[in-house]
Amino acid sequence: MPLAIEFSVLGSSSGGNCTAVRCGGSVILVDAGFTAKEIAGRLSGIGIGIDEVSGVLLTHDHIDHVRGAGVLSRRHGIPIHAARQTFCAAERALGCCEKSYFECGGEFEAWPFNVRTFPLPHDAASHCGFRLEAQKTSFGLATDIGYATPALIEGLRDCDSIVLESNYDFDMLENGPYPYFLKKRIAGEGGHLSNRECGEVLNEVVCKRTNRVVLAHLSQNNNTEPLARATVSSVAHRALCEFGFKIHAANPFEPTPVFRA
The residues, any chain, with a CB within 8 Å of residue 68's CB and separated by 6 or more, are: 18, 32, 33, 34, 35, 36, 37, 38, 39
Over range 26-34, report the average pLDDT: 97
Q: What is the pLDDT of residue 206?
A: 97
Determine the 3-state secondary structure of 249 from DSSP: strand
Q: Is the peptide bond before 257 cis (omega within 30 degrees of 0)?
A: no
Determine the 3-state secondary structure of 102 from DSSP: strand
pLDDT tens digits along 165-224: 999 999 999 999 999 999 999 999 999 999 999 999 999 999 999 999 999 999 999 999
- The pairing of strands 137-142 and 128-134 is antiparallel
Q: What is the pLDDT of residue 4?
A: 87
For the whole model, what pTM was predicted? 0.96
The residues, any chain, with a CB within 8 Å of residue 178's CB and separated by 6 or more, are: 186, 221, 222
Domains, the chain:
6-260 (3.60.15.10)
For residue 116, which of 142, 84, 77 has the smallest C-alpha distance?
A: 142
Name beta bridge partners: 164: 142, 215
Sheet strand arrangement including 161-165: 107-110, 113-119, 128-134, 137-142, 161-165, 212-216, 246-249
Over range 72-86, report the average pLDDT: 97
Over range 117-131, report the average pLDDT: 95
User: Within 10 Å of residue 183's Cβ, how many Cβ atoms?
Assistant: 18
